[in-house]
């Protein structure tokens, strides 16, 4: 299936943005209070906030799964277009 160069360019841009988003979300996950998530306060102690960091981590996991699924779909579509 041959697609026009404009469609391929748009797919490549979308794929690249999803790639950067996926890398960012994976790095934001807290892994035993290490990584980039410590800079944003995701992996901090939940004493003052009543455990709100667990909610943030759960939502971050959900967003990461959605972005990963979109990344795989865009990979498949881009592969078919080329």
- Higher-confidence residue of 42 and 71: namely 71
Q: How confident is the model at residue 69 (pLDDT cuts 50, 70, 90)?
A: very high
> Are residues 29 and 67 in contact, defined by beta-carbon separation less than 8 angstroms?
no
pLDDT per position as a tens digit, 6-64: 999 999 999 999 999 999 999 998 776 555 555 666 555 554 555 677 888 889 999 99
Q: What is the pLDDT of residue 52?
A: 75
Q: What is the pLDDT of residue 41?
A: 61
Burial class (CB in 10 A: 0-12, 13-18, 19+), 8: middle
């Amino acid at each position: 299936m041959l697609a026009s160069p404009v469609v391929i360019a748009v797919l490549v841009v979308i794929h690249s943005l999803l790639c950067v988003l996926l890398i960012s979300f994976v790095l934001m996950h807290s892994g035993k209070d290490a990584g980039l998530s410590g800079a944003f306060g995701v992996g901090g102690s939940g004493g003052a906030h009543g455990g709100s960091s667990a909610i943030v981590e759960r939502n971050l996991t959900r967003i990461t799964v959605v972005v990963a699924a979109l990344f795989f779909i865009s990979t498949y579509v881009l592969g078919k277009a080329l």
